[in-house]
Amino acid sequence: MSLAQEHPKEVKQILAKYPPEHKRSAVMPLLYLAQRAEGYITKQAMQDIADTLEISVTDVGAIVGFYTLYHDKKEGKYRMQVCTDLPCALRGADQFMESLCANLGIKVGETTADGLLTLEAVTCLAGCDRAPMFQIQSRAGLKYYEDMTVDKTMELVEALKNAGQEAE
Amino acid sequence: MSHILLRHRDIPEISSLNVYRKNGGFEAFKKAVTKMKPGQVTDLVKASGLRGRGGAGFPTGVKWSFIDNKVWPHYVVANADESEPGTFKDREIMESNPFQFLEGVAIASYAVGANTAYVYLRGEFWQAAQFLDEKIAELEKAGLLGGRLFGTNYSLRIHTHLGAGAYICGEETAMLESIEGKRGQPRIRPPFPAVYGLYGKPTVVNNVETLTNLPMILANGADWYKSLGTPDSAGVKVFSLSGRVRKPGNYELPFGTTFRQLIYDHGGGVQDGRPVKAIMPAGASSSFIVANDQVLDTKMDYASVRTLGADLGSASVIVIDDTVPLDWVIHKTIHFFKHESCGKCTPCREGTYWMMHLIDRIPQSGYLKADVDLLLNVATQMQNKCLCPLGEFSTMAVVTGIERFPQDFRKA
């Protein structure tokens, strides 16, 4: 089923934001919609968006490739994106990240064996005064976690694991 | 003094429309639409001395006056991309004082004759975008946005548009490309957005903090606003203070507050009582200021900071103490800019790549002078050759770091 068939209300709302002669503008919000549906952006979704907006699938792929919050591969159910940029690093973000890696048993960029979590290092998230901090990107959207410690983070990971099991 | 922008710190429930309106909310917009001509609003903002808060510091009213009135429709775009490392002020404004920001968008839109405005938020502000969508819906319900406002012929719709993780989209023409559904790569300027902007139409792009000033300027007048701050830099600024200070955070202060007041009186001083070694006044795009007593007593306004060989920019003050080596700092900034370079122009794409390569190698090779000289050479050669300011910004910390802190680039 196409995005428009599955989420008719959302697609209509998104298209209504832009002048009808410039519907290409809807590509970014439609990609978010597709990503929330599947957890990542499938080739089919890209084709579907291209057809809806009357642009080529290459144009859609170029957007997916350019912006870092779009993903075209299935990875962890939750993407933990830790800011290791300068202001956070001045407040211990690198040590925080190292310690997270040790606790999770994975390196930056890897996914836990159970497929729960992908750990990523990202650039500034505008949370510099509350470092260490990260965001979690998932099908539910994006959420910030600030003034974090390794203990608090591991508790959160545990909670995410349990929530997943309950849902299944 | 009570806050002008971070008013939620004085009026906790100001994010509810009732409370905002009880405190004068939307009276300024109503006054503009019902009693003022668009040109009068522009003149008032010009007279207030308000300058763009996103970093460039360009006079806001003057920017509006460049809009091409022969071509229609016009657009307003609020720049809520806030991605400069060390900057987190617009986020607080939108999350806590959303209506004042939206009223500012509305006033700017009326002044330039736009019936549609977009708020471009960085993708990470997903929650803030949802929050603003709710607030916009409330305003439409209350008749403060939509068609025939206050019984006039003026209508305005505001929409949010989420980016998806690209610092470059904070550059205004890259932002317009992104709204148009393309990769966020800057256009060659001129033509500037006031002539050729969104969908090729005249467009004004203003930063969130800039816009949030407008309701207060309209309510209290240009003279009141000018009485705050310094002659060169009117009004107040939200300073985002981060790095090695005890109390990092946003501090709304008049322009002309000194670095010492910000860091010590407001920020609680440096962690572990260490001395300040360097200040980056404009986030990762800063030139380093070598800290000393005279520097700490310098006023933070556009002109005074320039006398220190740096720009105030978005006033994202990153404090670096004497425990931090500067080669490590520029490793961080180079990594940032290499990651964020959009790849469109060669000097930036290749330059950031080679700077990364060199700064990776320098500590490993024992700070070879030839490598440090080459890094400085690459950075200097990039200057004045890049398509947009990103490439230029990537060189600031590198060049001033090596020139002003040579001891950090020598073998210990």
Domain co-membership, A44 together with A100: no
Spatial distance between the Cα atoms of B279 and A15, rounded to a whole number of angstroms: 45
**In this model, does residue B293 exceed pLDDT 80?**
yes
Spatial distance between the Cα atoms of B111 and B75, rounded to a whole number of angstroms: 11
Measured between beta carbons, which residues in chain A are less than 8 angstroms from residue B359? none
A71 is a domain residue: no
> What is the share, in percent, of chain B residues with pLDDT greater than 90?
98
Domain boundary among B282, B298, B321: B321
- Looking at the structure of chain B, the number of domains it has is 3
Give the best residue of A41, A52, A67, A128 to mutate against chain B (max B CB count within 10 A).
A128
Find the helix or strand (DSSP H, E) in which A84 lies: none
Q: Are B116 and B75 in contact (CB under 8 A)?
A: yes
Domain co-membership, A62 together with A86: no
- In DSSP notation, B164-209 reads -S-GGGGSHHHHHHHHTTS---PPPSSSPTTTS-GGGS-EEEEEHH
Spatial distance between the Cα atoms of B263 and B253, rounded to a whole number of angstroms: 12
Domain co-membership, B123 together with B161: yes
pLDDT at residue A163, as a whole number:
85
B2 is a domain residue: no
A85 is a domain residue: yes
Angle at A30 between CA A25 and CA A34, to 5 degrees: 160
Domain co-membership, B34 together with B176: yes
How confident is residue A165, by pLDDT bands cut at 50, 70 and 90? Answer: low
B167 is a domain residue: yes
Domain co-membership, B393 together with B342: yes
Measured between beta carbons, which residues in chain B are less than 8 angstroms from residue A123? 83, 85, 167, 336, 339-340
Q: Are B174 and B342 in contact (CB under 8 A)?
A: yes
B231 is a domain residue: no
Domain co-membership, B29 together with B73: yes
Containing structural domain, residue A104: 78-167
pLDDT at residue B198, as a whole number:
98
Of B122, B181, B320, nearest to A24 by CB-CB distance is B181
Spatial distance between the Cα atoms of B237 and B255, rounded to a whole number of angstroms: 6
Identify the closest residue of chain A to B85 by CA–CA distance. A124
CATH number, domain of B260, equals: 3.10.20.600
Q: How many CB pairs under 8 A join A and B?
A: 136
**Shortest distance, CA B179 to any CA of chain A (angstroms):** 6
pLDDT at residue A33, as a whole number:
95
CATH number, domain of A102, equals: 3.40.30.10
Domain boundary among B191, B206, B226: B226
pLDDT at residue A168, as a whole number:
42
pLDDT at residue A4, as a whole number:
84
Which residues have CB under 8 Å from B258's CB, separation 6+?
B296, B297, B298, B299, B300
A72 is a domain residue: no
A13 is a domain residue: yes
Report the number of secondary-structure helices (H) and strands (E) in chain B.
Answer: 17, 9
Closest residue by Cα to residue A65 from A31, A33, A34, A38: A31
B17 is a domain residue: yes
Domain boundary among A66, A86, A119: A66
Domain co-membership, A61 together with A98: no
Domain boundary among A66, A91, A107: A66
Residues 46-105 of A with CB under 8 A from B: 53, 55, 59, 62-63, 66-70, 85-87, 89-91
**In this model, does residue B1 exceed pLDDT 80?**
no
> What is the share, in percent, of chain B residues with pLDDT greater than 70?
100
Domain co-membership, A105 together with A39: no
**Shortest distance, CA A126 to any CA of chain B (angstroms):** 5
Domain co-membership, A101 together with A56: no
B274 is a domain residue: yes
Domain co-membership, B208 together with B83: yes
B1 is a domain residue: no
Domain boundary among B288, B321, B354: B321
Domain co-membership, A56 together with A83: no
Domain co-membership, B199 together with B242: no
> What is the share, in percent, of chain A residues with pLDDT greater than 70?
96
A73 is a domain residue: no
Of A66, A86, A142, nearest to B127 by CB-CB distance is A142
Q: Do B124 and A126 touch (CB under 8 A)?
A: yes
CATH number, domain of A35, equals: 1.10.10.1590
**In this model, does residue B193 exceed pLDDT 60?**
yes
Domain boundary among A66, A89, A113: A66
**In this model, does residue B23 exceed pLDDT 70?**
yes
Spatial distance between the Cα atoms of B146 and A68, rounded to a whole number of angstroms: 34
B250 is a domain residue: yes
pLDDT tens track for B87-128: 999 999 999 999 999 999 999 999 999 999 999 999 999 999
CATH number, domain of B82, equals: 3.40.50.11540
CATH number, domain of B401, equals: 1.20.1440.230
Least confident of A34-43, A96-105, B201-210, B242-251: A34-43
**In this model, does residue B220 exceed pLDDT 90?**
yes
Domain co-membership, A8 together with A35: yes
Q: What is the mean pLDDT of residues B344-369?
A: 96
Domain co-membership, A82 together with A132: yes
Q: What is the mean pLDDT of chain B?
A: 97
And the tokens for B204?
Answer: 């004004």
Domain co-membership, B169 together with B105: yes
- Looking at the structure of chain A, the number of domains it has is 2
A49 is a domain residue: yes
What are residue B299's DSSP bridge partners?
B258
pLDDT at residue A166, as a whole number:
53
Domain co-membership, A58 together with A106: no
**Shortest distance, CA A105 to any CA of chain B (angstroms):** 25
Domain co-membership, B139 together with B221: yes
Domain co-membership, B57 together with B181: yes
Q: Are B409 and B371 in contact (CB under 8 A)?
A: no
pLDDT at residue A167, as a whole number:
47
Containing structural domain, residue B90: 7-226
What predicted TM-score, i.e. pTM, was given to this entire model? 0.96
DSSP helix/strand/coil, B74: strand
**In this model, does residue A164 exceed pLDDT 90?**
no
Q: Do B127 and A70 touch (CB under 8 A)?
A: no
Domain co-membership, A135 together with A84: yes
Domain co-membership, A98 together with A147: yes
**In this model, does residue A114 exceed pLDDT 70?**
yes
Domain co-membership, A90 together with A148: yes
